[in-house]
Amino acid sequence: MYCMSVIDLPLAEDRKAGPQFGWYGVEYYKNLARQRPLTEREKHELSDAQQFAATGVSDFDRKLARNRERLRVYWLSNSDEDDSRALMTAKQRAGIDFEQCNAETPTTFSCTKACFDLCTPGDSSCLAPCEVRCGAPTCARTTPCYNPTWLPY
């Protein structure tokens, strides 16, 4: 439940603010296209920005939603009704940790980005130690939720 809640929070934020921010991306790539032809990658990013602006759902959001579903299936098959108090506590903790991680990120971004660039994308066993080393211990707790490779299925 902790990780499902950690994933729910950025998904909700993106759906709320996505269209506004997506249009900034669209305008950026359209202005760039006026100056020179876009690369294939930039064309793909423009397409993603247009979709994000229209729906508030990005490729990253779709990946998060798939991972959330995996977590939900795992949770449903490994919990019972007696877990309700623990689940509520986990959900509350996720909200606190999400906000704290957001507060840690601006001050640690340059350090974590340099470290993340050395990691395989999505490898939380590499990313979490970077966050701890750079002063973002709360983010180190939430990061494995986004790509739950630790799930047995």
pLDDT of the chain, 153 residues: tens digit per residue:
899 999 999 888 877 776 777 788 889 899 999 999 999 989 988 888 888 888 877 788 888 999 999 999 998 888 877 778 888 899 999 999 999 999 999 999 889 889 888 988 778 888 889 999 999 999 999 999 988 888 887
| pLDDT of res. 122 | 74
pTM here? 0.73
Q: Which two tokens stand for residue 43?
A: 């064309």
| pLDDT of res. 141 | 93
- The C-alpha atoms of residue 87 and residue 15 are separated, in whole angstroms, by 25
| pLDDT of res. 51 | 83
Distance separating the N- and C-terminal Cα atoms of the chain: 16
